[in-house]
Amino acid sequence: MAEANEMAVQVITPDGIAYDHRGTYVSVRTVYGDLGVLPNMISTIARLAVDEVKVRRRGDKNNHVDYVAVNGGIIEVNNNIVTIIADSAERDRNIDVSRAERAKIIAEREIQEAEEKHQVDAHRRAEVALRRAINRLNVSKHI
Q: pTM for this one? A: 0.88
Q: Are residues 24 and 45 in the same domain?
A: yes
Q: Are residues 100 and 133 in the same domain?
A: yes
Among candidate residues 66, 102, 72, the one with its CA nearest the CA of residue 84: 72
101: helix, coil or strand? helix
Collect all residues with Cβ–Cβ distance below 8 Å to 21 and sequence separation of at least 6. 9, 55, 57, 58, 66
What tens digit of pLDDT does each residue of 103-130 get? 999 999 999 999 999 999 999 999 999 9
Q: Residue 69 and residue 66: Cα distance in Å, rounded?
A: 10
Q: Are residues 60 and 106 in the same domain?
A: no
- Expressed as residue numbers, the domain containing 60 is 7-92
- Of the pLDDT bands very low, low, confident and very high (cuts 50, 70, 90), residue 32 is very high
Q: Is the pLDDT of residue 3 over 70?
A: no
Give a yes or no: residue 1 inside a domain.
no
Q: Are residues 51 and 67 in the same domain?
A: yes
Average per-residue pLDDT in the chain? Answer: 93
Mean pLDDT of 80-89: 96
What is the distance, to the nearest Å, from the Cα of residue 129 to the centroid of all Cα atoms in its chain?
14
Query: Considering its fold, how many domains does the chain have in total?
Result: 2
